[in-house]
A and B are shown apart, each in its own frame.
Chain A
Amino acid sequence: MSVLAVVEHDRGSITSASLGVLTAARSLAKQMNTKFEALTIGSNADALSELIAKYGASTVHQAHHSALTDFGPEAWGESVAQVVRKVSPTLVIGTGTERGHEVIAQTAARLNLPASMNCLEFDKGFTGAEPLKVVRARWGGSLLEEAEIDSPIKLVTLANHVVEPTEEPTSASVSVIDVQLDESVTQSFVQDRVERVAGVTLATSPVVVSGGRGVGSAEAFAPLEELAGLLNGVVGCSRAVTNNGWRNHTDQVGQTGTRIAPDVYIACGISGAIQHWVGAMASKNILAINTDAQANIVTKAGYAVIGDLHAVVPAISAEIRRRQNK
């Protein structure tokens, strides 16, 4: 019996989501009165064992194979499955990220076990023997589901940003596990990669000025661009906008777009449908600009201006300029 944390890393660099997973795995192992173990995939992640020990793992399993030099969803899933067969954990926790979901789903498919993604809570009384009750996010976070996982080995991913990482150092032992991978799983490796240029993105910008259907056209985003520029922010949008081809999907905020958490979110001509709201609700402050005082975004936002965005947005920019020139 043990709790096994599957560490997500990118070519040997641990991802921040993994730190939450290590922390959650440690506290679940304590609650279940069992061992907390971790798994890294590929020898390029061997050096992470020291860091993982800081989070309290008693053993770090290092899955090795000459093919494991980069991310490959099938090879990673197969590696996890083989390690799970070998060490028989009670609970396996992966990261609630695109890669994490994919690896746990691959593992689950290979072991023919259920898997519950994006878990926010685990039953505080869980001892390991009984079915595990969890609360997981559905509808991109608009709804929660209380679910039960009934299987000898429980596979889950931890919703991102839910558990604050905390350290609790131990001295971990290392176990190298040589996994067997054949060509059925080694095809789907990253073949090539174009590195992202560093810069402010929608996900990280402290200010986001978003436009919705109310903006009316691609050209009419110019005043929003201007306001975003004055505030050192970026422009976002709703799905109505990307659907109309006014802006690229990279700008979309929401369930199937980007989740943002800026200091200030300015939503112009957006009604605040639940799928948009889940992407914006982590914003520290929300200012809605809308002609409809009853719009969902207006009633949910901290601040609102009732009016035509085509008049209000340029007026705000003009006022900023006026104060800058003083």
Chain B
Amino acid sequence: MNILVCVKRVPAPGARINITADGQQVDTAFLGFTVSPHEECAVEQAVQLIEKHGGDVTVLTLGPAEAEEQLRTAVSTGATKAVLVPIDTTDWDPQKTSEALAKVIAELETANGKYDLILFGNESADSCGYQVGIRVALKLGRPIVNGAKGLEIESGVATVRRESDAGVEIYKLKTPACVGVKEGINLPRYPTMKGRLASKKVAITQSAATGETGGLKLITLQRPAERASNTKILGTGPEAASAVVDLLEELGVFK
């Protein structure tokens, strides 16, 4: 079984997100980078599936050259191949991104055969566009369901479990298919020693990016208005318990 997972390099901010002076980007001067938690889970799900059925997991990203780091991390947790589509900014708009990804995937498939499954995150952590996976799937002519909290594959049918307000829903897609994965589907593993070695050795294939600029344009990033809070310190250590319970009584949650 061959599975492709699309991941995006994003900053990993802590207590607050700072924006560059021109308002165009997150200020990453003191930040590490990661991929969206949904995508981490997509990689883990793909690795679990090949552990069961055999095959390869290829990770694919469109991003700056540094995104190699995220590809290597994915290999350290079990992915077997990595493809980088280098661009000279942090990201492209969703239409342009999906056009480029679809083209690269088509090329990879011409060379290596069709992927049984192509996995995405439900949404990327930074732009939260909820659309790149859907656009790519349509360009490739494959079915896609987002929000997967369960994913099994058996005799050419991918069974997707998804949660809604009403309950747990089951979808069945004939492979080749695409699925948008949500965090919680599994617990991603930590890199193993063997994985770390593999990640150092893996060859990162590069593929050229091409695409037309789409119609959604960023003007500026802004921080939402912060709620001013003057924290009332109720006390230190267990002695504060009485003040806490006074507060809970006052707030009406304990009578």
Contacts and interface: CB of A to CB of B under 8 A. Distances in A.
Interface of A: 10-11, 15, 71, 73-74, 77, 98-99, 101-102, 105-106, 108-110, 112-118, 133, 135, 137-151, 157, 184, 187-196, 206-207, 230-233, 239, 242-243, 245, 248-250, 252, 255-257, 263-264, 271-275, 281, 285, 287-288, 293, 296, 298-308, 311-312, 314-316, 318-320, 323
A147 B217 contact: yes
Contact of A10 (B13, B135, B165, B188): B165
Nearest to A96: B130
Contacts of B131: 101, 105, 108-109, 115, 117
B37 interface: yes
Nearest to B230: A302
A299 B231 contact: yes
Given A117-B128, A143-B222, A250 B168 contact: no
A147 B170 contact: no
Contacts of A319: 241-242, 244-245
A120 B151 CA distance: 33
Contacts of B144: 73-74, 188
Contacts of A106: 134, 138
Nearest to A108: B131
A161 B245 CA distance: 31
Interface in B163-207: 164-174, 182-184, 187-188
Interface residues of B, number: 83
B227 interface: yes
B170 A193 contact: yes
B252 interface: yes
B147 interface: yes
Contacts of B171: 188-191
A193 B184 CA distance: 19
Given A144-B222, A239-B37, A301 B214 contact: no
A146 B93 CA distance: 14
B224 interface: yes
Nearest to B37: A256
Given A109-B134, A109-B138, A274 B244 contact: no
Contacts of A307: 235-238, 240
Contacts of A105: 130-131, 134-135
Interface of A is mostly: mixed
Contact of A273 (B14, B98, B233, B237): B14
B217 A231 contact: no
Nearest to A286: B229
Interface string B212-232: 001111111111100101011
B170 A245 contact: no
Contact of A304 (B123, B135, B219, B234): B234
Interface stretch (B15-23, B47-55, B71-79): B15-23
A144 B232 contact: no
Given A102-B134, A249-B184, A194 B168 contact: yes
Contact of B215 (A113, A231, A281, A318): A113
Contacts of B252: 263
A143 B23 CA distance: 11
A250 B129 CA distance: 23
A311 B238 CA distance: 6
B108 interface: no
B241 A306 contact: no
18 contacts: A113-B215, A143-B19, A143-B221, A143-B222, A147-B218, A157-B130, A184-B141, A190-B170, A230-B254, A256-B183, A271-B15, A299-B229, A299-B231, A303-B232, A305-B236, A306-B235, A307-B238, A316-B241
Contact of B221 (A11, A114, A144): A144
B240 A305 contact: yes
A264 B187 contact: no
B232 A302 contact: yes
B81 interface: no
B237 A148 contact: no
Nearest to B244: A316
B87 interface: no
A192 B247 CA distance: 46
A306 B233 contact: yes
